[in-house]
């Protein structure tokens, strides 16, 4: 092993400097993402696969002046990268491309004091507590005729971003998740619990296992229900499953083009329009406590609302929805100028709250005379872009609530529902807290959501799956 950071790779900051020095173009951005991760997987009361990985990807963006504007080219590679060749490849693609629609001046973005620090690394040691508890947990599960499955992953992603305008940014992004599924040995009932965490210091396998035991206990009584519209209690994790789709769809350019739920006729958008009767707030903020995420733009390619020209710019907090009205759509700088909207790059966290709602999920249950308590949702896909109609399944625990108490477990359903419509039919919310979307956490780990009590949720058909 040679070099800093315990690997034979050259120091990341020197890779940035080498690539910038090799650039012959009008402008250049170099991104080095150094990824260290560890994971453990288990199923059938036994560990199955696990691994530790070290990856490093170098991305070079070159900007070339053309008679009619500036064009961009991108080349990236992981592994033992030939820097000069990568820079030449990006410059060649930029030189042969037409001027970019998203062109904006490369801004000086300041320098981080820690730019020359080595990347952060993790290993299986981060799971020491969980691994210690696993063997007794498997033993207890076997004795109680339960089957445990689950997954723990921890990633440290150190991003180095340098620009020919003098910017030198560095950020270490920790991302972790732990999921546990318990199933009765006869397969008749199952339930799930998951948590997002930066470092696993706050994760207890025993606590999650206790939550699962309680829910498997609820399933000792079974109730068969048919399709229909039901009052539902969505816990924060399930709200994250749905609300993230509202965020994914929030592209300004695509709304202007007329093809999304945020489109208005005549090439306009629904910005400013009231979406929900209740005064929901939905926002992103790189500095959100406990959900801190990369505070500057890292764009390895341009898209409808992200731009390689914005690399290194600070990501401002964004109120996507305020007082129930659509307040921001995603725009890169060039798009924002064109549309007369605010620059709103994507951020790697999402928060939703209904101000004034301070109760717990238990309070929502206690206030329900008859409804269905969900655990999480699964296989969620967009059915109709114009209404953001989603389909998907209830999974691993759906329970009947009567008179404010859980009275049994219900069969699973396929739902067809739009999250915007569901927010619009909210009866009551609990306080916002850290949530883990089972469906999307691999792409969107950092969310805080309330639990919601929603009227008339469309359970389209029964799923026999358990």
User: Taking CB under 8 A as the criterion, which residues in 311-340 touch another protein?
Assistant: none
Among 62, 197, 276, 302, binds another protein (CB under 8 A): 302
Stretch that binds another protein, among 7-15, 209-217, 310-318, 344-352 (CB under 8 A): 7-15
Within 33-52, which residues bind another protein (CB under 8 A)?
A: 37, 39-52
With 0-12 CB in 10 A as exposed, 13-18 as middle and 19+ as buried, what is 2? exposed
Contacts to another protein from residues 75-104, by CB under 8 A: 75-80, 82, 85-86, 88-89, 92-93, 96-98, 100-102
Nearer to another protein, 77 or 223 (CB): 77
Taking the complex as a whole, the smallest distance from the CB of residue 224 to another protein amounts, in Å, to 15
> Stretches 175-183, 310-318, 341-349, 358-366: which one binds another protein (CB under 8 A)?
175-183
Half-sphere exposure of 450 (CA within 13 A, CB side): 24
Where are the alpha helices (H) located in 144-278, listed in sequence order?
Answer: 205-218, 236-248, 252-256
Residue list 367-426, contact with another protein (CB under 8 A): 378-387, 389, 391-393, 395, 412, 414, 416-418, 421
Number of residues that bind another protein (CB under 8 A): 107
* Matching residue, tokens 């008679």: 67
291 three-state secondary structure: coil
Minimum CB distance to another protein, residue 397 (Å): 12
Residues of this chain, 346-365, that bind another protein according to CB under 8 A: none
Element (H, E) at 156: strand 146-163
Contact between 188 and another protein by CB under 8 A: the answer reads no
Q: For residue 10, what are its two tokens?
A: 């050259």
Q: Is 73 in the site for another protein (CB under 8 A)?
A: yes
464: tokens are 């026999």
Under rule CB under 8 A, residue 66 binds another protein: no
Angle 128-143/205-218 helices, nearest 10 degrees? Answer: 30
Nearest residue (CB) to another protein, 259 versus 317: 259
DSSP helix/strand/coil, 93:
helix
Cβ neighbours around 386 below 10 Å, total: 11
Instruction: Please state the length of the chain.
Output: 466
The conformation of residue 333, written as its DSSP 8-state character, comes to H
Establish if 17 lies at the interface with another protein (CB under 8 A).
no
Residue with tokens 């690399």: 311
Nearer to another protein, 265 or 403 (CB): 265
Q: Of the two residues 212 and 351, which places its CB atom closer to another protein in the complex?
A: 212
CA Rg, the chain, in Å?
Answer: 24
CB 45 → another protein: shortest distance, Å?
7
CA distance 81 to 114: 24
In angstroms, rounded to a whole number, what is the distance separating the alpha carbons of residues 415 and 461? 7
* 3-state secondary structure (DSSP) of residue 275: coil
Binding-site member from 109, 263, 276, 447 for another protein (CB under 8 A): 263
Question: What is the rounded CA–CA span in Å between residue 262 and residue 245?
Answer: 12
Q: How far is the CB of 438 from another protein (least distance, A)?
A: 9
> What part of residues 117-156 is at the interface with another protein (CB under 8 A)?
124, 131, 134-135, 138-139, 147, 149-151, 153
Give the angle subtended at the CA of 199 by the CAs of 196 and 202, to the nearest 5°.
Answer: 70
Smallest distance, another protein to C-beta of residue 436, A: 13
Residues 269-298 that bind another protein (CB under 8 A): none
């Amino acid at each position: 092993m040679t070099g800093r950071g315990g690997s034979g790779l050259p120091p990341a900051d020197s890779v940035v400097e080498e690539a910038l020095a090799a650039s012959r173009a009008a402008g250049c951005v170099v991104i080095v993402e150094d990824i260290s991760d560890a994971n453990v997987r288990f199923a059938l009361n036994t560990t199955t696969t696990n691994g530790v990985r070290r990856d490093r990807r170098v991305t070079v963006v070159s900007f070339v002046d053309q008679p009619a504007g500036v064009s961009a080219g991108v080349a990236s590679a992981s592994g033992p990268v030939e820097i000069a060749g990568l820079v030449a490849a990006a410059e060649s693609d930029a030189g042969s491309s037409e001027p970019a629609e998203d062109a904006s001046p490369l801004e000086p973005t300041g320098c981080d004091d820690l730019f020359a620090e080595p990347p952060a690394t993790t290993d299986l040691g981060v799971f020491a507590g969980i691994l210690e508890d696993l063997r007794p947990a498997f033993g207890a599960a076997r004795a109680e005729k339960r089957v445990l499955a689950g997954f723990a992953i921890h990633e440290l992603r150190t991003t180095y971003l340098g620009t020919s305008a003098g910017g030198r940014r560095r950020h270490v992004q920790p991302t972790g998740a732990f999921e546990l599924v318990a199933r009765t040995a006869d397969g008749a009932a199952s339930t799930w619990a998951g948590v997002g965490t930066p470092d696993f210091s706050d994760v207890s396998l025993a606590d999650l296992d206790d939550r699962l035991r309680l829910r498997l206990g609820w399933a000792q009584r079974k109730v068969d229900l048919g399709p229909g519209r039901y009052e539902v209690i969505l816990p924060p994790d399930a709200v994250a499953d749905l609300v993230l789709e509202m965020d994914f769809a929030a592209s300004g350019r695509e709304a202007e083009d007329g093809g999304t739920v945020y489109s208005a006729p005549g090439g306009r958008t629904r910005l400013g329009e009231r979406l929900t009767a209740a005064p929901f707030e939905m926002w992103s903020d790189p500095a959100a406590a406990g959900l801190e995420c990369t505070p500057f733009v890292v764009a390895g390619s341009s898209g409808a609302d992200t731009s390689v020209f914005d690399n290194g710019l600070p990501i401002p907090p964004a109120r996507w929805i305020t007082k129930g009205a659509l307040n921001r759509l995603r725009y890169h700088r060039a798009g924002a100028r064109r549309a007369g909207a605010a620059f709103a790059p994507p951020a790697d966290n999402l928060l939703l709250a209904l101000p004034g709602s301070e109760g717990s999920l238990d309070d929502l249950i206690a206030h329900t005379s008859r409804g269905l308590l969900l655990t999480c949702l699964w296989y969620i896909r967009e059915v109709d872009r114009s209404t953001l109609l989603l389909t998907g399944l209830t999974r691993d625990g759906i329970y009947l609530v009567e008179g404010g108490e859980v009275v049994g477990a219900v069969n699973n359903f396929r739902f067809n529902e739009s999250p915007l419509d569901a927010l619009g039919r909210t009866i009551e919310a609990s306080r916002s807290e850290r949530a883990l979307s089972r469906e999307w956490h691999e792409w969107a780990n950092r969310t805080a959501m309330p639990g919601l009590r929603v009227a008339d949720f469309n359970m389209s058909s029964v799923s026999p799956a358990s």
